[in-house]
Amino acid sequence: MLIVHLLALASGLAITVTTLNNVLQTVVVPRATASRLSGPVLRVVQGLISRLAQTRSDYLDRDAILAQGAPLVLVLRLVAWIGLLVAGFTLLFWGSGAGDLAGALRLSASSILPLGLTHAGSGLATAIAFLETASGVIVVALQISYLPTLYGTFNRRETMVTLLESSSGSPPWGPEVLSRHALIDNEDHLADLYHDWEQWAADLAESHTSYASLLYFRSPEPRTSWILALLACLDAAAIHLALNPLTAPPAARPFLRMGIVSLRSIARVTRVPYTVDPMPDDPIQLTFEEFREAVERMEAAGWVPERGVEEAWPHFRGWRVNYEAAAYGLARLVDAPPSPWSGTRYGKLASSMVPVRPPHRAPSPERDRLLKVTRSRRAFRAAGRPEAEARKHRPRHEPSPTSGPSEAGKIDEDVRPEAPPDAK
C-alpha cells in the first residue's frame, strides 16, 4: 500500500507541475512554444466548430458559428487547467494519507479556490491545501490578466484591417486596392500603405505566434479577415512591382519580404505546409487568365502599367510563389471568407464573395470635370518624372538640357528591369 501511495504522490506532483508549466508557457512566456495541453484543446474545439460550420452553405451562417470557437477555447482551456490541478492535488492528498480517495477529491475541489467547505486534518494536508489554493488563484488571475493583452492585440490588428476596407472593399482583394487608388488618382498613397502594413505584418508575426488562439478570433465584419487583408496587400505590392517597375515605391519590397516572413512564421506554428525556398518559375495556383482579367479591371479604373500583361506575369509569379501556399493554407485553416485569389475552403459554399465598388455619386458634369483634372494631373506628373530622375544623376555644374519635350512614361525596350533577385 505504501508503494501505491508513493506512486500517487509522484503522479500528482507530475500532473501539478506539468499543468502549472503549461499555464506559464501559454500565458506568461512571450514565445511560440509547443504546448501539450493548450494545443490539443485548441485543435479539438476548433475542429468540432469547423465541422459544424461546414454544414452551412451560406458563409454568413458559417461565420456566425465559427465566431464562437476562439472564446470557447479560452473558457475550456481554463476549465482544463483547473480540472488537472484538482486531479493532481487529489492524488497528493490521497498519497499523503489525508483520508480515502473520495475524501481527497472533496478536499482538493474545496481547496482549488478559497471556499473552505472542507478542512484539512493534518499539517501536511494543510500545507498541500495552501499550495493548491495559491495555484488556483494564480491560474485564474493570470487568465484574467491575459484577456486585456489578447483583446488589445486583436483590436490593434483589426484597426488596420478596417482601414483597408476603404481601399479594397470587402472582402479585401489585391487588384482592387490598386484599382481604387488609381480611380481617385491617389497612387502616391500606396507608399505609405506598404510602410504601414510592413509594421503591421511584423506585429502580426510576433503576437500571433506567441498567442495562437488569436488566429481564430474573427473580424467583427463577417466579409473580411486578417489573412485576406495581408494577402490583398501582398498581391497589390507584387502587382505594382510587376507592372510598374520604374515608378513602384521602394517601400513595396521590404513590405513583401516582411509579409512573407510573417506568413511563414505563423504557418510553422500552425503546421501549414509551404515550400521554404521556391524557384521563381515554380507553378502557382493562380492562373495567368485570372491575372490578365485583374489587370484589365485595373486599367479600366485608370491604372497605367509600364509593362504588358505577358511580360509582367513572370515577375508577379516570382513574388507570389513565396507566399501563396502559406496564405492559402492559413485562409483554409481559419475558414476565411471566400474572396478572389485566396484558395479553396472546406465544405461547400453557395458562392464566392467579390468586392463591390461603390458607385460614383457626383453629377455628370462634375464627374467629367474631375476626370479631366485627374488626367491633367497624371500627365503633369508623368512629364516631370524623367526630368526629376535626370536631375538626381546630373552633376551640379552641368546645365539642364534644353532639348525637346520629354517622352513621359515611355520605357526603352532594351533596358527593361529584370526580376528582383529576392523575388523567387
Q: Please provide the DSSP assignment of 325-352 as one string.
A: HHHHHHHHHTT----TTS---SS--S--
Contact 143, 78 (CB under 8 A): yes
| Residue 94: partners with Cβ closer than 8 Å, 6 or more residues away | 5, 8, 12, 100, 101, 104
pLDDT for the residue 200 = 97
Of 272, 158, 177, 155, residue with least CA distance to 225: 158
What pTM does this model have?
0.81
In the chain, domain spans: 2-145, 169-385
Quote the CA–CA distance of 69 and 218 in Å, as a whole number.
9
**Cα 207 from chain centroid?**
10
Rg (C-alpha) for the chain, rounded Å, is 29
Cβ distance 215 to 270 under 8 Å? yes
Looking at residue 31, its amino acid is: R
Neighbours of 190 (CB within 10 A): 22
**Which segments of the chain have a pLDDT < 50?**
388, 390, 392-424
The per-residue pLDDT for 138 is: 92
Note the pLDDT of residue 125.
Answer: 83
